[in-house]
Structure formats: C-alpha cells, structure tokens
C-alpha cells in the first residue's frame, strides 16, 4: 500500500488555525449552553421552592382558622348547653371581626339545624335561622368522626350563595356527648388574594384544588359562583400518576395551548393539591437565542480565520524554506568530508538568523563532543565494573536482611519469632548475635524470659567486648542487638552498616508483629462479643454483600437447618419474606429508610408465635459509610408481657368493679332515710358487704404475695406440721357454696411420714387454691376431688385429682405464668387475676419443693405438691 502524501506546511497551519478557531467557538457555545441550562434549572428549582412555600402558607392559613373554630367550640359549649344564643352570637362576631377570612359563621344543633348565624342577615337583608343542613356531607362526616372536618368546595345557602369551604368542629356537652357544632365558611376570594400575594412573575399563576379536585383558586375560574372540577384535566391526571415518584414537577400541554412547566405539592393534612405554572417558552427563550447566535457566528469566524491564516502562512513558509535549503547544503558538505561552508545570514526574520547561528555552533561542537564521548565511555566501563562488584556485595547483604521478612500472621509467639529471624541470617554474619527486647533475651538456640539487660550482659555475653545497636519502636529504644566480640575480632564499617540495617529491619518486623498480635487479639475479642450477644448481627458492605453474621442471626434466619445461601442482602430479604408474616411493602419501606425498625412474627409448628424486632444501622469509618448492619432482637417475652398486662388490666378492673359496685349499692340502700329496713335485711346487706370486702382483700393479698415472690422477700415460717391435719383443715376452708354438690375424699398412704417441715398457713393457701380451681372449672354433674398423701423417694407428696374440664396441652406449660388464664374472655366462668397458680408455685419454691400438673381435656387434672423430707424428721 502506498504511503499517503503528507500535506504541506502551509495547509497544516491553515487547518490548525481553523481547528483552533472553530474549537474555541464551539467550546464557548457549549459553555454558554451549560450556563443557560444551569440558569433554567435554577429557575425551575426556585419555582419548586415557591410551590413548597405556598404549600406551607396555605396549610398554615387553614390550620390557623381551624384552631380558631376548634377553640371556639370549647368556649361555646357551656353557652350552648344553657342556650345562651346572644352570648354565642357575640363570640361569632368576635371571630368575624378578628378573622375576616371567614364569610360567615353559624352554630347548629346536633340534628344539623342552625341556631345562631353571624352575620344574622344576608346581603338582601333577609334573616337566616333554623335552616336544616343535615344533608350536607360535612355534617354526615362530623357525625361519623366526632372530629373537626374541612369540607370540599360547595355552594352556600343560608348565609351566602357563593362557593365556600367549611371548617366544622363538634361541640361537646359536659357529659362528653355531641350537642351541636360550629361552622366557619372560608372566603375563597380572600384565600385567592392570600395565594396571589405569595407568587411572583408576570406569566406565573397558581391553582389550588380541594380533595375532590374542585377549583378553590384558579386565574380562569370565578370561584365566587362557578364550581369547576378538574379531575379529567391533563395536569391532574399527570400529577396523580406521579404520586409515588420522587419528582414534583412536570411539563404538559393543556387544551392545545403552549407547553407549561408546572411544580406541584400535595397538602397531606387537607388532601388539597396546589401547583404553580410557567410557560415553557418563557423559560427556554434564552437558550434558543444563544443557539441562534452561535450558529451564525461560526461561519463568519471560519471565514475570518481562513483569510488570516493565508496571509500568515505565506510569509512563514518562505522563511522556513530558506532555512531548510541551508541545512541541506550543510548536510551534503559533511557527508563528503568537504569543508563546511557556513552561512552567517539567511533571508527572513531575525529569529531565523539566530537559529542559523546556533546551528553553526552546534556543528562545530559535534566533532569535539564525539572525541570526549569516547573517552568518557572508557571511564564509564571501568566505573560500571566497580559498581557491579559493590552491588553484588550489597545484594548479598540485602538477601540476608530479606530473610527477616517472615509472615507476621504466623501463629508463632514473639520469642520464637525473634529466634527465627536470628536463624535466618546465621549464614550471613560471623559473629554471635543476641537480641534483648523488653526484658526478653533471645539467641539462635535459646530463649531467656524476664531477663534484665545488665543481668544478661553480665551472665551470657562471653566475649571481652561487645557491640550494641538500638532497636527503636515508635521513636523510643525498646531493645538492643548485641554482638559478642571475641579476642581479636573487630567490626568493619560495612559490617556495622549491615548490622544497623539489620536492627532497623528487625525493629520494623517486631513492630508489625506486635501490631498484628494486637489486631488479632482485638479481632478475637470482637468475634467473641458478637457471637455471645443475645441479639443477631449481620454486617453488609456497600455492595449489599454479607461480610459477617453471628450465630444468633443464623439461628433465626436459618433455624430449620435448610442451609439457604445468605451471601447477599436480596437472599436475606427472600428468607425473611418466607419465614415471617411480613409484606413486601413493609420490607421495602424498612430497607428504604422510611422506618427505623420492623416487627417480625414467626409462627412455630406448635401454633405459637415468636416475635422479633429488626433494626438497621449504618457502619461508619473515618466519617465515611463503609456499609450497613442489621440487628435482630427476640421480643417474644416482651410481647407476652404486653398481652398479659392488657389481660391483667381488663381482669383486675372487672374483679374490683363488681365488689365495689355491690358495696356501694348496699351502703346507699342502708343510708336511705325514707325507708325502715328489717334487721334481718340489714344484716344480710352487711354480710354481703363483708364478703365483698374479703374478696377485695383476697385480690390485694394476691398482689402482695406475687410482689414478694418477684422480689424474693416472701417469708416462710417453717415448723413441724402434720400433713393430714393440714389437708383436713384446708378442706374446711373451701367455701360452702362450692362444696354443696361436690365430693372431697382424702386417702392417706403415708402413715409413717405424717410430719414435714413447712409453713402451715402457706400450705393451706396452696391447697385451698387448688380445691377452689378444681370445683370452679368443673362441669360434671357429680363433682369429685380426690386428695392423696404419700411418700415418693425423699418427698412427701399431696396429689389433688378432679374430674373437671381439664387443661389443653398448649396451655399446660403456661398456667404457672403470672397473670395467665386459660379463659381470658369477658364471659369467663369465674373471677380471678391469673395469679393463683403462680403464687402456689412461688410458695412451693420457697419450701424448696415443686408443683407438677398432669391433665387431659374433658377428663380432669391432677396437681401434685412435692415437699422435701428432712433427715430425722
């Protein structure tokens, strides 16, 4: 292939000038486009901020008027209850005078009929009162919510026939019942003026829609009489499609008019929509003007550059050709060994003459330099040989030092690490070398722990003299390299330099070793802490890859042993979605940062639920986020406590309310002065009061007992007691009403072991509780309880067996929990707070015994008490 012919110097210069000129214009154009684009983006950002500012002002305007109506509803309540209409009218007048944004105000009764209007008369002079507004949507919503309501736009009647937005607040009586309401009608014209004063720009305009997309403010709509709905408007439909997007601006063409740039905002508290619009042509006008300017400026600039470059290149080309001809004649003379004929002048600029002079000097020096170069080359070869020998010697020393570079991650301890370093350089030095480092002395064959420097030099350095090099760590001497010199041995300068290099290298290796050991120990401590945590921890890098997960987290996420891969965050999310009852929206919201924690529920195979709380946190290092972490915490116990607490509050309120109500009724009956009660009737009432007081006392005693058990302060007064007597006395303490249709039988199988060491009162308390439960939770027509006393191993046992309803398996393990009841519904068959069996267990544990239960639903239950038998008792 033929070589392409090169362009002439003249053409190169023309092309260069043209390229530089056009490139400059194009770059300048791009820069101007960038500046104008930035200006347009700035204007659009400014419009967005104005929209947000307008949103805050409208929300504040409505919130201010809403607070006035809500405050006045509280102030008017006693007046309305006493039907003081004149005072109510004065209150309405004060609102109207201080807040002209209201067109009118009125107070209505609970049936939706107006009671007091202000102004009392309309513009035609007619008086408006006792009008029925029960058909209004705001009235219906008020009845449903009993909270303040802000209505959509509607046509007024009564006070005015213009379009209105109403703020309505309920008025409650002293008994907390709704007795009426107060309504303030917002003047939309005043609201429009309020909005228009907060935007600027000749072509800008604002639009405000209510929750039903009815126009509240619009430059093309007369909001006094004309109700317009913009649900089908292109702008409203476009905004509704972008509700879930991060952007709050759009460009649309409305009704074949020009395009408009719109920024909008949703007023969440009101459900209203506000936007500000600007014509797109006005925004983009500077950009189009700049483009036109650049397009006609480019050809003019190109023409000017071409003409200028023709003039300049012609002159420069002639001078260069003259210089080139001179150089060619010099070259021809030099090759033919003819005397070089030097020219002292050349036609052209002075710079070319100077260049020729320098060229002549260069030609004269070339021959001289060639001779000198040969001499220097000879000297350089000699110096290279000498330098090579030195480098070979230095290389052997470096190889010896290089042997020190052992892996610092070695499991070898510090003394053996130092010994390994000494052994690695043994072949490179002819001296006995010792290392003393932080009360530790090491040679190539032995290690001397806890040895002071003076003691070691005196005991183990055998030569008549010694040389020492300091081992410096962090700028301070931490040890010494000791060379044991025998008679006649000396250290040369090169050997001393090597020993210094060796000591510095050893110091670096020791520093690295210490740092690595410190890092490894800290890392081991951190691993131990993370693995022993009672919460699960997972760490992820910025690419959402799992870097670390502790055992607790794995047990929760992969507790069933399926060994699912957990290498990335997406796999963790899939596993959470499979195990726990959480929606994809909840997980997405949590990992998007919209929620600080996520509650997870896991249904076990037994039907129980385990609860976990998942937290997310950022991992920061040197003020930069290097990843994020997940922390999962078992909150099952907390959830159970909350459930028990709620049940407890409900049960306790019921248990206290019933006897207190009975006592109150009996006392009020006895205090009546208009009736003389029979003594028997009075005694009956007082006995009922006494029983209710005992019932309350039992509840209080249960609370005190469980409190003592919780704090570990329950006092047990132990004495030698007879078991059969305790059982018989406990049977007598069971309420007669429960024993009427029941059979309680006692069988003694431990006649030789009737005595045991216990608190008689507390044992009776346990037995009475068991007897009472056995009778209350029994639907059998012939209730029966069998009490059996016998000796089992080292325990005296009392078994209480009934033929009641029994306890299901899922409740069997929880009946001894505090506040737990098998039946926690409002219609349960008997009272109680669920503390009885928990107190029984606490009393048995205080006796160093235990209580066990065996039950089958529908057949009955057996509770067995185990009391330890003391030797010699």
Q: Is the pLDDT at 256 greater than 60, yes or no?
A: no
pLDDT: is 351 or 759 the higher one? 759
Is 637 in contact with 534 (CB distance < 8 Å)?
no
- State residue 864's pLDDT score: 93
pLDDT tens-digit map of 76-90: 989 888 888 888 888
pLDDT tens-digit map of 329-355: 767 665 665 555 556 666 666 666 777
pLDDT tens-digit map of 417-445: 887 777 777 766 777 888 888 888 888 78
Helices (H), 4-121: 9-81, 85-98
pLDDT tens-digit map of 483-542: 878 777 777 777 777 777 877 888 888 888 888 888 888 877 877 777 777 788 888 888
Residue 213 has φ and ψ, to the nearest 5°, of: 65, 25
Token duo for residue 338: 């003819």
> Among residues of the chain, what percentage have pLDDT more than 70?
81
Confidence of residue 784 (pLDDT cuts 50, 70, 90): very high
User: Quick one: CA dihedral 471, 477, 482, 488, positive or negative?
Assistant: positive
pLDDT: is 580 or 148 the higher one? 148
- State residue 402's pLDDT score: 63
- State residue 560's pLDDT score: 63
Beta partners for residue 789, in sequence order: 748, 798
- Give, in degrees to the nearest 5, the angle at Cα 158 between 156 and 160: 50
- State residue 825's pLDDT score: 43
- Picking from 62, 156, 70, the residue whose alpha carbon sits closest to that of residue 101 is 62
> pTM of this prediction?
0.38
pLDDT tens-digit map of 46-56: 888 888 888 88
- State residue 458's pLDDT score: 79
pLDDT: is 614 or 395 the higher one? 614
Q: Is the pLDDT at 252 greater than 60, yes or no?
A: yes
- Picking from 99, 93, 228, 219, the residue whose alpha carbon sits closest to that of residue 167 is 99
- State residue 128's pLDDT score: 64
Is 44 in contact with 261 (CB distance < 8 Å)?
yes
- State residue 1's pLDDT score: 46
Question: Per mean pLDDT, which range of 194-208, 390-404, 459-473, 588-602 is the poorest?
Answer: 390-404
The arithmetic mean of pLDDT across residues 248-260, rounded, is 65
- Max mean pLDDT range (62-66, 309-313, 689-693): 62-66
Q: Is the pLDDT at 800 greater than 50, yes or no?
A: yes
What is d(CA 443, CA 660) in angstroms, rounded to the nearest whole number?
Answer: 91
What is d(CA 354, CA 360) in angstroms, rounded to the nearest whole number?
Answer: 10
- State residue 345's pLDDT score: 62
- DSSP reduced 3-state for 460: helix
- Picking from 574, 615, 572, the residue whose alpha carbon sits closest to that of residue 596 is 615
What is d(CA 870, CA 551) in angstroms, rounded to the nearest whole number?
Answer: 45
Confidence of residue 246 (pLDDT cuts 50, 70, 90): very low
What is d(CA 48, CA 661) in angstroms, rounded to the nearest whole number?
Answer: 64
Confidence of residue 310 (pLDDT cuts 50, 70, 90): confident
pLDDT tens-digit map of 539-562: 888 888 888 888 888 888 776 666
- Picking from 872, 871, 870, the residue whose alpha carbon sits closest to that of residue 718 is 870
What is d(CA 837, CA 705) in angstroms, rounded to the nearest whole number?
Answer: 12
What is d(CA 460, CA 446) in angstroms, rounded to the nearest whole number?
Answer: 11
Token duo for residue 774: 């056995």
pLDDT tens-digit map of 85-134: 888 888 888 998 898 888 889 899 988 888 888 887 665 555 666 788 88
Q: Is the pLDDT at 820 greater than 50, yes or no?
A: yes
Q: Is the pLDDT at 827 greater than 50, yes or no?
A: no
- Picking from 814, 824, 815, the residue whose alpha carbon sits closest to that of residue 773 is 815
Q: Is the pLDDT at 398 greater than 70, yes or no?
A: no
- DSSP reduced 3-state for 245: coil
- State residue 183's pLDDT score: 92
- State residue 450's pLDDT score: 79
What is d(CA 191, CA 210) in angstroms, rounded to the nearest whole number?
Answer: 13
Confidence of residue 828 (pLDDT cuts 50, 70, 90): very low
The side-by-side arrangement of strands in the sheet containing 783-792 is 742-748, 783-792, 795-802, 860-868, 850-856
Is 761 in contact with 726 (CB distance < 8 Å)?
no
Most distant CA atoms of the chain, gap in Å: 162
CB burial readout 271-301, b (16+ within 10 A) else e = ebbbbbbbebebbeebeeeeeeebeeeeeee
pLDDT tens-digit map of 585-610: 777 788 777 777 888 887 776 667 78
What is d(CA 536, CA 556) in angstroms, rounded to the nearest whole number?
Answer: 8
- State residue 160's pLDDT score: 67
- State residue 167's pLDDT score: 93
- Picking from 832, 567, 865, the residue whose alpha carbon sits closest to that of residue 702 is 832
The arithmetic mean of pLDDT across residues 221-228, rounded, is 80
What is d(CA 161, CA 68) in angstroms, rounded to the nearest whole number?
Answer: 23
List all residues 6 or more positions away from 742 whose beta carbon is below 8 Å from its beta carbon: 775, 778, 783, 784, 785
Beta partners for residue 476, in sequence order: 473
- State residue 381's pLDDT score: 82
Token duo for residue 541: 């890098």
Confidence of residue 872 (pLDDT cuts 50, 70, 90): very low
What is d(CA 108, CA 181) in angstroms, rounded to the nearest whole number?
Answer: 5
- Picking from 620, 624, 621, 604, the residue whose alpha carbon sits closest to that of residue 612 is 604
The arithmetic mean of pLDDT across residues 278-289, rounded, is 70
The tokens 């503390």 sit on which residue? 835
pLDDT: is 458 or 311 the higher one? 458
Q: Is the pLDDT at 673 greater than 90, yes or no?
A: no
The arithmetic mean of pLDDT across residues 363-381, rounded, is 76
What is d(CA 75, CA 69) in angstroms, rounded to the nearest whole number?
Answer: 10
The tokens 């390229």 sit on which residue? 19
pLDDT tens-digit map of 18-29: 788 778 778 877
| Mean confidence (pLDDT) of the chain | 79
Confidence of residue 822 (pLDDT cuts 50, 70, 90): low
Is 466 in contact with 457 (CB distance < 8 Å)?
yes
Is 758 in contact with 843 (CB distance < 8 Å)?
no
Question: Per mean pLDDT, which range of 171-180, 312-321, 740-749 is the poorest?
Answer: 312-321
- State residue 787's pLDDT score: 92
What is d(CA 755, CA 723) in angstroms, rounded to the nearest whole number?
Answer: 6
Q: Is the pLDDT at 44 greater than 60, yes or no?
A: yes
Is 406 in contact with 420 (CB distance < 8 Å)?
yes
């Amino acid at each position: 292939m033929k070589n392409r012919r090169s362009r002439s110097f003249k053409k190169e210069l023309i092309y260069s000038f043209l390229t530089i000129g056009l490139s400059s214009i194009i770059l300048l154009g791009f820069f101007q486009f960038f500046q104008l684009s930035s200006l347009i983006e700035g204007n659009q950002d400014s419009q967005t901020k104005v929209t947000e500012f307008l949103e805050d002002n409208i929300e504040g305007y409505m919130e201010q008027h809403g607070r006035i109506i809500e405050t006045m509803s509280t102030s008017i309540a006693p007046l309305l209850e006493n039907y003081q209409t004149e005072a109510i009218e004065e209150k309405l007048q004060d609102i109207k005078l201080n807040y002209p944004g209201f067109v009118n105000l009125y107070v209505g009764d609970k049936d939706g009929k107006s009671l007091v209007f202000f102004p009392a008369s309309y513009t035609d002079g007619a008086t408006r009162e006792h009008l029925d507004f029960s058909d209004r949507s705001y009235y219906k919503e008020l009845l449903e919510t009993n909270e303040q309501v802000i209505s959509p736009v509607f046509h007024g009647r009564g006070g005015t026939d213009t379009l209105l937005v109403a703020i309505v607040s309920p008025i409650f009586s002293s008994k907390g019942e709704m007795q009426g309401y107060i309504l303030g009608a917002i003047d939309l014209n005043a609201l429009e003026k309020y909005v228009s004063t907060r935007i600027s720009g000749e072509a800008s305009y604002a639009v405000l829609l209510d929750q039903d997309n009815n126009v509240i403010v619009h430059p093309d709509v007369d909001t006094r009489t004309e109700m317009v709905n913009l649900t089908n408007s292109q702008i409203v439909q476009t905004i509704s499609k972008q509700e879930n997007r991060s952007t709050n601006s759009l460009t649309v063409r409305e009704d074949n008019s020009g395009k408009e740039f719109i920024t909008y905002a949703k007023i969440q508290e009101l459900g209203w929509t506000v936007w500000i619009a600007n014509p797109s042509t006005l925004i983009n006008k500077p950009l189009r003007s700049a483009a036109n300017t650049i397009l006609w400026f480019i050809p003019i600039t190109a023409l000017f550059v071409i003409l200028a470059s023709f003039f300049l290149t012609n002159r420069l080309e002639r001078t260069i050709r003259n210089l080139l001809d001179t150089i060619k004649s010099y070259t021809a003379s030099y090759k033919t060994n003819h005397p070089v004929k030097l020219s002292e002048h050349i036609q052209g600029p002075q710079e070319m003459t100077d260049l020729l002079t320098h060229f002549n000097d260069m030609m004269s020096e070339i021959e001289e330099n060639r001779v000198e170069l040969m001499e220097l080359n000879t000297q350089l070869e000699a110096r290279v040989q000498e330098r090579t020998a030195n480098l070979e010697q230095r290389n052997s020393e470096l190889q010896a030092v290089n042997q020190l570079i052992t892996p610092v991650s070695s499991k070898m301890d510090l003394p053996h690490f130092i010994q390994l370093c000494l052994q690695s350089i043994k072949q490179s030095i002819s001296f006995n070398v010792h290392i003393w480092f932080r009360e530790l002395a090491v040679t190539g064959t032995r290690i001397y722990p806890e040895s002071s420097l003076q003691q070691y030099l005196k005991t183990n350095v055998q030569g008549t003299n010694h040389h020492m090099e300091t081992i410096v760590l962090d700028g301070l001497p931490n040890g010494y390299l000791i060379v044991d010199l025998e008679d006649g041995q000396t250290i040369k300068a090169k050997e001393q330099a090597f020993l210094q290099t060796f000591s510095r290298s050893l110091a670096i290796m020791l520093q690295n070793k210490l740092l690595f050991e410190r890092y490894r120990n800290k890392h081991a401590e951190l691993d131990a802490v993370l693995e022993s945590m009672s919460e699960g921890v997972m760490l992820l890098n910025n690419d959402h890859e799992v870097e670390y997960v502790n055992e607790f987290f794995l047990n929760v996420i992969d507790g069933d042993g399926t060994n699912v891969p957990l290498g990335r965050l997406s796999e963790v999310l899939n596993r959470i979605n499979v195990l726990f009852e959480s929606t994809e929206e909840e997980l997405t919201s949590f990992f998007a940062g919209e929620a600080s924690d996520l509650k997870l529920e896991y249904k076990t195979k037994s039907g129980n639920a385990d609860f976990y709380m998942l937290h997310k946190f950022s991992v920061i290092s040197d003020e930069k986020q290097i990843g994020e972490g997940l922390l999962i915490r078992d909150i099952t116990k907390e959830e159970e406590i909350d459930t028990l607490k709620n049940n407890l509050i409900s049960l306790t309120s019921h248990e206290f309310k019933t006897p207190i109500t009975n006592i109150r009724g009996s006392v009020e009956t006895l205090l009546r002065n208009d009736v003389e009660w029979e003594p028997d009737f009075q005694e009956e009432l007082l006995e009922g009061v006494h029983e209710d007081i005992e019932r309350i006392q039992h509840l209080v005693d249960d609370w005190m007992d469980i409190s003592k058990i919780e704090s570990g302060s329950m006092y047990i007064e132990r004495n030698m007691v007879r078991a059969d007597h305790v059982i018989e006395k406990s049977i007598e303490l069971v309420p007669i009403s429960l024993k009427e249709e029941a059979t309680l039988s006692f069988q003694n199988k431990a006649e030789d072991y009737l005595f045991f060491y216990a608190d008689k009162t507390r044992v009776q308390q346990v037995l009475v509780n068991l007897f009472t439960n056995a009778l209350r939770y029994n639907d059998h027509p012939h209730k029966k309880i069998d009490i059996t006393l016998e000796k089992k191993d080292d325990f005296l046992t009392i078994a209480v067996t009934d033929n009641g309803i029994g306890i299901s398996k899922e409740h069997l393990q929880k009946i001894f929990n505090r506040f737990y009841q098998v039946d926690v519904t409002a219609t349960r068959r008997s009272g109680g707070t669920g503390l009885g069996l928990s107190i029984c267990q606490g009393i048995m544990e205080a006796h160093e015994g235990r209580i066990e239960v065996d039950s089958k639903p529908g057949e009955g239950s057996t509770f067995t008490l185990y009391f330890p038998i003391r030797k010699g008792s």
